[in-house]
Chain A
């Protein structure tokens, strides 16, 4: 199953809502948390991060992480609002989908 860009954006925003992190850490989390059935290319991650940064939903800052300079991304005010909205929409949508699936099983 292939995840769409929009879904990846939602996942990234939600991951950053937990705490700020850099690209590599984010890719590690996504690989660990997402089941193998979801095809997620790490190469997709950076263009999406830059897109979100351009939309001012996240902000990247160079920080010292364990003695290395890393670009750490965190949610902006606008990003937090967007993430809350997306989470609400996703909860409602997945609720409806599971309701229908339960009926068929």
Chain B
């Protein structure tokens, strides 16, 4: 292996963040330059060296495979430990309709796994950027504690409610407060700790999705899931109950409001809007020069998700295809660079929203409940590509006409 090959493999495998990264690379380069040709690459295997340095500067989660520990542990906790807690000793399937029984468990699983994975990802970036192991583990422990306390509290409350020790009203209020606190903490952590990649150093902000954007999107999906859960399960507890409180009572009014789509949407949209506003403010303050590029990424996914939500209420896929083609046309026209990135981002909204809704809110999937339309939703990339092609062609024609005019002049 030549010195150049050694360095390229080493740089690829080194996960340590700047400025430490440049420092390490400079040190290893200077070592290689000094070593004679006969003993080139006396440093051994470049991947191994990079991994050892990653372990020194990042710590336990330097090995990406270890990140899977957290979701696995969360799964074990939910499906084994949580099973023996008092509230779960009651057979939930006997009083809940079948779909809610399964969705309830999957929902609870996702509600734990997603924020925990998010916390790990955020923590890992935070640890990489600051090279502080302690902060990272603190975030992780904090996340685990919050989820554990939340789970135990929820189980105690459910247990008390089922034994009629507390009324359903108190149950709803306490659960809603608990959920809001948990959501608030995670949203806050996501916003505070998702430090952006410095565009002045990478210079490729418009070409690849930054970690910040990925964090934001995960957070939005999480809010969508959690918002739906909160609205459906806590604010509208009598949604599918056989016996409801009498009409005219406050609890019935609250239930009916949040049971309808307006109430559900208010919870989700206000959380999403708040998150989006904070995100934009942060982008504006940090990436002032690159604000428009990032805004385009956010707009692309936002509009794609909006089309997907509209699609849930549409009787046919044809209208959705037209909407996606129009989106593709607009992006092809105004942002002709990064053709495939736009195609993937614009087409990703439909399968993501389909997956989320089919798992957690199957009752909202009126026409999509039939057949395997979730898989068909991947076809949404075709009209998007068609739209992008048309848009880019129009842009190229316009550009070439302008060039001809300049030459003529």
- Chain A residues engaging chain B, CB cutoff 8 angstroms: 22-24, 27, 41-44, 46-47, 50-51, 54, 68-71
Contacts and interface: CB of A to CB of B under 8 A. Distances in A.
Interface in B20-52: 23-24, 26-28, 30-31, 33-35, 42-45, 48-49, 52
Contacts of B52: 43-44, 46-47
4 closest A-B pairs by beta carbon, nearest first, are: A43-B44, A47-B52, A43-B43, A24-B34
Contacts of B24: 46, 50
Contact of A46 (B26, B28, B34, B45): B28
A42 B30 contact: no
Interface of B: 23-24, 26-28, 30-31, 33-35, 42-45, 48-49, 52-53, 55-57
Nearest to B42: A42
Given A43-B43, A43-B48, A24 B55 contact: no
A71 B27 contact: yes
Contacts of A41: 44
A46 B30 contact: no
A50 B57 contact: yes
Best-surrounded residue of B26, B27, B33, B35 (most CB of chain A within 10 A): B27
A54 B56 CA distance: 8
Given A23-B31, A24-B35, A47-B53, 20 more contacts: A22-B30, A24-B34, A27-B42, A41-B44, A42-B42, A43-B44, A43-B49, A46-B24, A46-B43, A46-B49, A46-B52, A47-B49, A47-B52, A50-B56, A50-B57, A68-B33, A70-B30, A71-B23, A71-B26, A71-B30
Contacts of B44: 41-43
A45 B44 CA distance: 11
A42 B55 contact: no
A26 to B, nearest CB: 10
Contact of B56 (A24, A27, A47, A69): A47
A43 B45 contact: yes
Contact of B30 (A44, A50, A68): A68
Nearest to B55: A47
Nearest to A23: B31
A42 B43 contact: yes
Contacts of B49: 43, 46-47
B30 A51 contact: no
Contacts of A71: 23, 26-27, 30
Contact of A24 (B26, B30, B48, B57): B30
Nearest to B46: A43
A44 B28 CA distance: 12
Contacts of B27: 23, 46, 71
A24 B33 CA distance: 10
A5 to B, nearest CB: 10
Given A24-B30, A41-B44, A46 B53 contact: yes
8 contacts: A23-B27, A23-B30, A27-B31, A42-B42, A46-B43, A68-B33, A68-B34, A71-B26
Contacts of B35: 24
B134 to A, nearest CB: 12
B43 A50 contact: no
A31 to B, nearest CB: 9
B371 to A, nearest CB: 55
Most chain A CB inside 10 Å of its own CB: which residue of B23, B35, B53, B56: B56
Contacts of B33: 68
Contact of A51 (B23, B26, B28, B56): B56
Nearest to A41: B44
A42 to B, nearest CB: 5
A65 to B, nearest CB: 9
